Amino acid sequence: MVMASKGDLTKARLAESMLELIQTNGYSGTGLNAVIEHAAAPKGSIYFHFPDGKEGLGIAAVELAARQFETLIAEAAVSAGSPAAAARAAIEALTAIVSESDFRLGCPVSVVTLEMGAESERLREACLAAFESWISPTAAFLEASGLAPAEARSLATVVVSTIEGAVIVARAMRSIRPLEAAADVVADLVEQRCQAAGGTR
């Protein structure tokens, strides 16, 4: 097993801190000094590990968020008995994260997209890659359950978009009801499409 170096650990800690602060304060509201303090990292470490500064650190945070949610999707797919159950399990896991944070945590990818999508092409591309990393495995799971590739891709896009919107509305309302409603609607839609395609229930 390869042990991470001290520098690698500091770099990872900076990205994790940036991710958490984006979730609570937004991208624009997150300063580099706050990241350094939150990560308990040495001054100057950001530009050592991220020579392009805040933009590079923001990209790393988006990539970290992408990997975390991709893992959540994969775990839901493995543990659930059907695509509908997997979708519900993924939304319920997100609901727990949002609720347990007292609605302070949401999706940092949507935050960065809304704030910086028109300002930074690199950040927009990082957000696009993040969404794609969630849509593609969802589409593959649906396709394996009997849907045609184009329909699976379309439905996966709707599922991810619905979840993203539900997280935003849940935080605004400070209520899990939007996420619970999204879980019901998404699960029903996925089940109907898979049944119509002759897939497994």
**Span 100-131, pLDDT tens digits:** 999 998 899 999 999 998 999 999 999 999 99
Tell which wins on pLDDT, 176 or 4: 176
The whole-angstrom separation of Cα 98 and Cα 175 is: 9
Q: Which of 67, 75, 70, 87 is nearest to 142 (CA)?
A: 87
Q: What is the pTM of this model?
A: 0.89
The whole-angstrom separation of Cα 9 and Cα 3 is: 10
Neighbours of 96 (CB within 10 A): 12
What superfamily would CATH give domain 6-196?
Tetracycline Repressor, domain 2 (1.10.357.10)
pLDDT band at 1 (very low <50, low <70, confident <90, very high): very low
Q: Which of 116, 60, 94 is nearest to 165 (CA)?
A: 94
Q: For position 3, what pLDDT does the model report?
A: 53
Q: What is the average pLDDT value for the chain, to the nearest integer?
A: 92
| Residue 179 CB contacts under 8 Å (≥ 6 apart), including other chains | 91, 94, 95, 98, 166, 167, 170
Q: For position 27, what pLDDT does the model report?
A: 95
Task: Yes or no: say if 82 and 144 are a contact pair by the CB < 8 Å rule.
Answer: no
Every domain of the chain and the residues it spans: 6-196
The whole-angstrom separation of Cα 195 and Cα 50 is: 48
Burial class (CB in 10 A: 0-12, 13-18, 19+), 119: exposed
| Residue 39 CB contacts under 8 Å (≥ 6 apart), including other chains | 10, 13, 14, 16, 17
The whole-angstrom separation of Cα 8 and Cα 94 is: 28
